[in-house]
Amino acid sequence: MLTTTEIDNELTKNRELETATFGMGCFWGPEARFGSLQGVIRTRVGYTGGTTATPTYKTMEDHTETVEIDYDPTNISYEEILLHFWRNHYPNRDQYRGQQYVSSLRYHNQQQKQIIDLVKGEMEKELGEPIETEITPVSHFTLAEDRHQKYYLKRYPNVLEKLHSLYPSEESLIHSTFAARLNGFVKGFGTRDQIVTEIIDWPLHENARQQLIEKFMRLKW
């Protein structure tokens, strides 16, 4: 059986991944939501936008809870990601609970900024009101503490124990596509059949795909 590190190496081989960074309030739910999407390869949560060098969950100050994803633009476009972003939270300031939970987009290049401006205009027409999402270039991203990564999956320690052979380190869990799908699944995003169908299409040896599917189907939640 391959480790998730070996699986993720196969899934990213010969792919030019891109990164999207955004805040939608508490970062646990958005990580699960976006982790369920085909084309999203990796998810992680952290802190952006502030002025202090080493924010933590308890000393966040002017930083924002943020989700960062790596995705394959041949499977899911940045436009699609933005539609998921804006349609799944209310992006105006009367809903904000301070800078920690502000609606934010941190763009990585001018192409993303241009797409943001275009989709923002379309979404304002759809919502019927101006969007107040904070839109700035990425300055830095500080990875959140381990307990916040794949938060919903970690609420099932018995499952993590059964998956221990796949995850030789916390880093391998953070970077795992399979873990991102499981984190979304236990939050209610996606179905067993959808995950199995996707794994069947993953560029793995048939034996590895079958072992991964069998392990997934045996998990008790």
Q: Catalytic amino acids?
A: 26
Q: How many CB atoms lie within 10 A of CB 183?
A: 27
174 CB-side CA count, 13 A: 15
205 CB-side CA count, 13 A: 6
Phi, psi of 161 (to 5 degrees): -65, -40
Q: Which two tokens stand for residue 99?
A: 């800078």
Contact 135, 105 (CB under 8 A): yes
Q: Where are the beta strands (DSSP E) in the chain?
A: 18-24, 40-48, 64-71, 103-107, 134-137, 142-143
3-state SS, 161-197, equals HHCHHHCCCHHHHHCCHHHHHHHHHHHCCCCHHHHHH
The helix or strand, by DSSP H or E, that contains position 214, with its residue range, turns out to be helix 206-218
